[in-house]
Amino acid sequence: MKKFAMIIFALLMIICAEATAKNVTVTGTGITQIDAENDALRAAVENTVGLFVDSETLVQNSMLINDQIYTHSRGFVNDYYVVSREQIPNGWRVTINATVDDNPDSKLMNELTRLGIINVKLRNPKIAVYVPEQHLNYGVNGAGGETAIVKTLLNAGFSNVVEVGTGLNYQSPMAMNVAQMKQAAEKFGADIMIVGESFSEGVGDMGNYLPGNQRTNMQACRARVEAKMFIVKTGQVIAADGKYGSAYDNSQAIAAKKALTSAGEQMGNYFVEQITGMYTSRQAIEVIVYGADFSKINLVQAALNQNNRVQNVNLSSYENGRAVFNVGYGGSPQTLFNELQNLTHADLTLQAFTYNTLTIYVR
């Protein structure tokens, strides 16, 4: 079972890599060769936009997308070369191979976000999580990996998360196809569906792994959580990974839960980064810092400037020991706080956060 799941996971990664390829070969027509080439560039950008925007949104915003995106297609194409030119009745047909940058920080994605074409509500989407687990030695009740993913998402500021639990029944969730994931997501009214599998197994007395091999009566377990993330709006699987965890306890069942929780938390953090990176790019985050004096607040500002994932650090106000910074950041406020802790020796306390605000005390 575990070997089979690993094979499915490997195949999934290959499929995902192909789905996010930026090179497209398209054909355009026009009265002149330049007209046909421009038409092909437009087709390349249309192809890329279609991966991220559903057909209903495309229709509703057709004039806006045409005026602001397609009319300026050449500016969104990184590179291209002409595959063929052919004169046809009434003009020319030109085929090109084009590279369109669809990364979260690209000009195209930023423009789609600015125009509201990529739905802003996905900054706090409804997320359904379905990651059943299996203990390879004996039955362990509950869902440690799934629960850990849900808690991590909630802690990151996503407040609309559903733990599916026994609400679905698939023997191999990692093998679910797009139609099955879409059906499952619709059942729970979800914008994002996270599906996967988790495994744990006992590996004996912890003493077996310590010098002297002395028995400790503490049972060690290891676990793996594998999952993929499906975006209902676009019909795309945009992320997949697997994480390991290990733990020990005098009860193998509890050790298994601890190991699954460890792997699940890592998996949850991975998906937090994927969601915030995909749909908010470097979103504007307001960082509110309280300190006894500005020298303390300056330590946080220095850490913000050291963080290579933070851009445009701007101190917008300072009064009575309260500073407000506006920054651009490609992740969640919770993750930003964790990174700031690692970048400064100051004593930081997390006071509160939402999906686009972070409040910190510094001592």
CATH of the domain at 291: 3.30.70
**What does the pLDDT look like over 271-325, one tens digit per residue?**
887 776 654 445 668 899 999 889 999 999 999 999 887 888 989 899 989 999 9
* Most confidently modeled range among 4-18, 141-155, 334-348: 334-348
pTM: 0.50
**What does the pLDDT look like over 55-114, one tens digit per residue?**
677 788 888 888 889 988 998 898 899 999 999 999 999 999 999 877 655 778 778 877
Shared domain check, 192 and 276: yes
- Where is the domain boundary, 280, 304, 338? 280
Q: Residue 331's pLDDT is what?
A: 67
Residue 48 has pLDDT above 80, yes or no: yes
Shared domain check, 131 and 274: yes
**What does the pLDDT look like over 242-254, one tens digit per residue?**
999 999 888 888 8
Shared domain check, 304 and 209: no
- Any domain includes 15: no
The model's confidence at residue 120, banded by pLDDT at 50, 70 and 90, is very low
- Where is the domain boundary, 219, 252, 280? 280
Shared domain check, 147 and 189: yes
Return the CA Rg of the chain: 25
Shared domain check, 316 and 251: no
Shared domain check, 270 and 156: yes
CATH of the domain at 55: 3.30.1660
Q: Residue 88's pLDDT is what?
A: 93
- What percentage of the chain carries pLDDT values higher than 70? 81
- Where is the domain boundary, 265, 280, 295? 280
Shared domain check, 305 and 182: no
Q: Residue 96's pLDDT is what?
A: 94
Q: Residue 204's pLDDT is what?
A: 80
- Any domain includes 6: no
Residue 227 has pLDDT above 70, yes or no: yes
Nearest to 44 by CA among 119, 91, 102: 102
**What does the pLDDT look like over 136-188, one tens digit per residue?**
766 556 568 899 999 998 887 777 898 888 788 888 899 998 889 999 998 99
C-alpha to C-alpha distances, 46 to 12, 52, 74, nearest whole angstrom? 26, 10, 12
Who's near 119: CB < 8 A, 6+ residues apart? 57, 233
- Any domain includes 146: yes
Shared domain check, 82 and 95: yes
Residue 212 has pLDDT above 90, yes or no: no
Nearest to 145 by CA among 242, 257, 260, 241: 260
Nearest to 38 by CA among 65, 76, 68, 90: 76
Residue 236 has pLDDT above 90, yes or no: no
Q: Residue 264's pLDDT is what?
A: 94
Please give the backbone phi and psi of residue 304, each rounded to the nearest 5 degrees, phi first.
-60, -45
- Any domain includes 5: no
- Any domain includes 1: no
Provide the mean pLDDT of the chain.
82
Residue 193 has pLDDT above 50, yes or no: yes
Provide the residue type at 27 as one letter.
T
Q: Residue 62's pLDDT is what?
A: 86
Residue 213 has pLDDT above 50, yes or no: yes
Q: In which domain, by residue range, is 36 found?
A: 22-118
Q: Residue 125's pLDDT is what?
A: 78
For the residues 116-131, what does the mean pLDDT come to? 71
Of residues 234 and 177, which shows the higher confidence score?
A: 177
- Any domain includes 132: yes
Q: SS3 for the chain, per residue? A: CHHHHHHHHHHHHHHHHHHCCCEEEEEEEECCHHHHHHHHHHHHHHHHHHHHCCHHHHHHCHHHHHHHCHHHHHHHEEEEEEEEEEEECCEEEEEEEEEECCCCCCHHHHHHHHCCCCCHHHHCCCEEEECCEEECCCCCCCCHHHHHHHHHHHHCCCCCEEECHHHCCCCCHHHCCHHHHHHHHHHCCCCEEEEEEEEEEEEEEHHHHCCCCCCCCCEEEEEEEEEEEEECCCCEEEEEEEEEEEEEECCHHHHHHHHHHHHHHHHHHHHHHHHHHHHHCCEEEEEEEEECCHHHHHHHHHHHHHCCCEEEEEEEEEECCEEEEEEEECCCHHHHHHHHHHHCCCCEEEEEECCCEEEEEEC
Residue 29 has pLDDT above 80, yes or no: yes
Number of domains in the chain: 3
Could you tell me the two tokens for 112? 């789609």
- Any domain includes 11: no
Shared domain check, 263 and 300: no
Residue 131 has pLDDT above 90, yes or no: yes
In this structure, the dihedral spanned by the alpha carbons of residues 40, 43, 47 and 53, taken in order and rounded to 10 degrees, is 150
Shared domain check, 224 and 108: no
- Any domain includes 255: yes
CATH of the domain at 225: 3.30.160.150
Q: Residue 292's pLDDT is what?
A: 85
Shared domain check, 109 and 127: no
Shared domain check, 79 and 108: yes
